[in-house]
């Protein structure tokens, strides 16, 4: 890979509390699971860490609480070599929390309490102008306020920097200014169908073509079937996934995004970036937790 590509990430952070169960409970039911796991999470933070581990030079903007979880997040990012100049601490707001259930097939159900993540303001992005303008790619998800993403993407667009939106957790209607500022959209099948106004089990090829009306490039991740890349005026690329033993799919999409973004920024080679993303996503399924913590 060419010299470390610079990425700027709006890095939502959550304290993940995860329990593996034999099956998901139905309403009103209590189930007994395995030992709980408390680990770092948050889609943006997971993606930033994956990008750094793939060789990118990563700077982030994030909001955490003035609490133990917020201090743990700062220590984690520092240990990963991530530039935290854009991290703000918001007293009176708890650091984000995610409650996660994982079943025996490795599928997950996640509920987040965004807390301090909601306090990342557009004004917090103004001092980051130089970091954004100097990046090859700016990356965001939907766990931080849309107005801040629009502010960051506007700065990126004005400087000719590529923008990538991972539209998760998905919302029915993405604001048009955000769509217009997004160069690459990355979503899973459910998110893609929701954004296209289609049924959840719709054919991803049809959905992807539909989304090209609003986005120049669209990636749809397909879990164990790999990922698809749609680009206006070009043939659709499909990268299959290697067979792995799935333990926990939490964070697999984030691993995909971090690796894909890094290799796209470094090489501009869509096919290679897709393959790197699929490999990273598959590997992430083989261990518990969203971010394997280094020992």
Q: Which of 16, 67, 254, 269 is catalytic?
A: 254
> Least distance from C-beta 243 to ligand RIB, angstroms?
22
Q: What is the DSSP string of 19-35?
A: EE-SSPPPTT-----S-
Which residues in the 193-252 window bind ligand RIB by CB under 6 A? Answer: 250-251
41 binds ligand RIB (CB under 6 A): yes
- Three-class DSSP category at 154: helix
258 binds ligand RIB (CB under 6 A): no
DSSP state of 292: P
> Least distance from C-beta 106 to ligand RIB, angstroms?
13
Q: Are 15 and 97 in contact (CB under 8 A)?
A: yes
Total residues at the site for ligand RIB (CB under 6 A)? Answer: 15
Q: Which residue is nearest to ligand RIB (CB)?
A: 41
Q: Which residues contact 60 (CB under 8 A, 6 or more apart)?
A: 8, 9, 10, 11, 44, 45, 48, 77, 82, 83, 84, 86, 87
d(Cα 142, Cα 43) in Å, to the nearest integer? 9
Tokens 């933070």 identify what position?
A: 45
> Least distance from C-beta 191 to ligand RIB, angstroms?
11
186 binds ligand RIB (CB under 6 A): no
16 is catalytic: no
112 binds ligand RIB (CB under 6 A): yes
At 83, give phi and psi (nearest 5°).
-75, 115
145 binds ligand RIB (CB under 6 A): no
Q: Are 31 and 21 in contact (CB under 8 A)?
A: yes
> Least distance from C-beta 88 to ligand RIB, angstroms?
19
253 binds ligand RIB (CB under 6 A): yes
Please select the residue that binds ligand RIB; options are 178, 218, 254, 264, rule is CB under 6 A. 254
d(Cα 33, Cα 23) in Å, to the nearest integer? 9
Q: What is the DSSP string of 192-247?
A: HHHHHT--TTS-HHHHHHHHTTT-SEEEEE-GGG-EEEEETTSPPEEEPPPP---S
114 binds ligand RIB (CB under 6 A): no
Q: Pick between residue 14 and residue 184 the one whose CB is nearest to ligand RIB.
A: 14
51 binds ligand RIB (CB under 6 A): no
Which residues in the 9-38 window bind ligand RIB by CB under 6 A? Answer: 14, 16
**List of residues contacting ligand RIB (CB under 6 A):** 14, 16, 41-43, 46, 98, 110, 112, 143, 250-251, 253-254, 290
Active-site residues: which are they?
254
């Amino acid at each position: 890979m060419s010299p470390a590509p610079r990425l700027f990430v709006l890095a939502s952070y959550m304290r993940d509390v995860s329990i593996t169960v034999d099956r998901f409970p139905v309403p009103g039911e209590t189930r007994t699971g395995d030992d709980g796991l408390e680990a770092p999470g948050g889609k943006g933070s997971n993606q930033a860490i994956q990008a750094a581990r793939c060789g990118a030079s990563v700077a982030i903007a994030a909001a955490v609480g003035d609490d133990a979880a917020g201090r743990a997040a700062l220590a984690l990012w520092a240990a990963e070599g991530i530039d935290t100049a854009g991290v703000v601490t918001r007293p009176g707001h708890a650091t984000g929390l995610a409650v996660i259930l994982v079943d025996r097939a490795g599928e997950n159900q996640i509920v987040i309490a965004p807390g301090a993540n909601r306090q990342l303001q557009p004004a917090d992005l103004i001092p980051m102008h130089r970091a954004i303008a100097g990046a090859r790619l700016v990356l965001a998800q939907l766990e931080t306020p849309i107005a801040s993403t629009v502010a960051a993407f506007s700065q990126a667009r004005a400087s000719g920097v590529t923008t990538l939106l991972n539209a998760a957790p998905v919302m029915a209607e993405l604001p048009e200014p955000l769509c217009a500022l997004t160069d690459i959209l990355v979503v899973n099948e459910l998110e893609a169908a929701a954004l296209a106004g289609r049924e959840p089990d719709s054919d991803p090829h049809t959905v992807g073509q539909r989304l090209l009306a609003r986005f120049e490039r669209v990636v749809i991740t397909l879990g164990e079937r790999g990922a698809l890349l749609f680009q206006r005026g070009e043939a659709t690329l499909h990268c299959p996934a290697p067979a792995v033993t799935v333990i926990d799919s939490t964070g697999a999409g984030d691993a995909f995004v971090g690796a894909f973004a890094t290799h796209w920024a470094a090489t501009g080679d869509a096919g290679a970036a897709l393959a790197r993303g699929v490999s990273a996503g598959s590997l992430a399924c083989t261990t518990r937790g969203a971010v394997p913590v280094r020992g």
